[in-house]
Amino acid sequence: MRYGILSGALWGLDTVVLAVATALVPFLGADEASLASAVLHDVSCALILLVYMGVRGRLGDTWRAARTRSGLAVVLGALLGGPIGMSGYLVAINNIGPGYTAIISTFYPAVGTFLAFVFLKERMHLHQVVALVIALAAIVYIGYSSTTDDATSGSSLVGVLGALACVLGWGSEAVILAWGMKNDVDNETALQIRETTSGLVYLLVVAPLAGVLDFTFHASTSLGTGVLALAAVAGTASYLFYYKAIDTIGASRGMALNISYSAWTVVFTLVLTALAPTLLDPTATEPASLLTSDTLRQVGCCVVILVSTVLAATPDWRELRFRRQTAPVG
């Protein structure tokens, strides 16, 4: 349980720090910013994991695992969750905006839960499904409330298709990883295979095809990329906990806890906006008030999300009761 909660909290932190990075030169105002930051983020995660596994003397384990059937399955999961899922996410943002993209992409745990039921025979009780639906509804509300009426220059159809690719990619990734980690691959090795695959495909295939390779290389030595690397540290830790959660409690429950990142993102954003408003909004001149009606509604939704995701990941809710410890008799 705690691994899933930590994965959500750290991914929320990763998201906020990444937003800070993209508000800096050379990302600010650049058309290539979204995709280039995704490339640099996954490449940074791969390098961090290379050092992490190297220090622990486990690079040989990764090489051996990558040549197994389960390792190849993890590679497939990496392609679905990384270049395919994330690229779909970015395409959707560019065409229908971040708010509507967040609403659609939120449903990846529902797709993953269904796939886990079909292929892994994982079961969720009715009360868990209800809790998951409540969490998704709260996330949809946050996404809807953050949308604007600003028109986008892209295609609505392309945007929706991109968001659906994201949902299918992220949802199927968790199921494939759960299957792979039941056999020859442990969660840390699976993560290194995943991030290395994703980083290489982004750098060697996606970036050149999208025409952002030159921008990515020029941005790599900037302050913005240094901040982005800090986001990658949080992201790598989030992934480590996420994969551990999938390995220990299954894909369905792991995803249910991971989507709490939506709530943590709001919390970290509110705190950062209050303490250092110019980091996320260079035009801000004073700290934002945390007592507005919109903020209070968002905080209320965050509480609903956090509680509901814990309930969705707990088969027997009686396990959550706080019981008074009594001294042994005799």
- Give 279-314 pLDDT, tens digit per residue: 666 666 565 555 567 778 888 888 999 899 989 988
pLDDT in tens, 6-19: 999 999 899 888 88
* Per-residue pLDDT at 127: 92
Determine the Cα–Cα distance for residues 66 and 80; give it in Å rounded to an integer: 17
Angstrom CA distances, 78 to 174, 282, 307, 323, stand at: 10, 35, 30, 42
Q: What is the DSSP string of 141-184?
A: HHHHHT---PPPSS-HHHHHHHHHHHHHHHHHHHHHHHHHTTTT
Query: Higher confidence at residue 219 or residue 321?
Result: 219
Residue (of 241, 242, 225, 240) closest to 43 by Cα position: 225
* Per-residue pLDDT at 240: 95
Determine the Cα–Cα distance for residues 89 and 171; give it in Å rounded to an integer: 13
- For residue 43, name the pLDDT band (cuts at 50, 70, 90): very high
Determine the Cα–Cα distance for residues 204 and 207; give it in Å rounded to an integer: 7
Determine the Cα–Cα distance for residues 27 and 33; give it in Å rounded to an integer: 5
Distant-in-sequence, close-in-space partners of 25: CB < 8 Å, separation ≥ 6: 222, 223, 224
Provide the Cα torsion 313, 256, 82, 85; round to 10°. Answer: 150
* Per-residue pLDDT at 183: 75
* Per-residue pLDDT at 77: 92
327 has pLDDT over 50: no
With tokens 């994201």, the residue in question is 166
pLDDT in tens, 103-157: 788 788 888 989 999 988 898 899 999 999 999 898 888 777 766 544 455 678 8
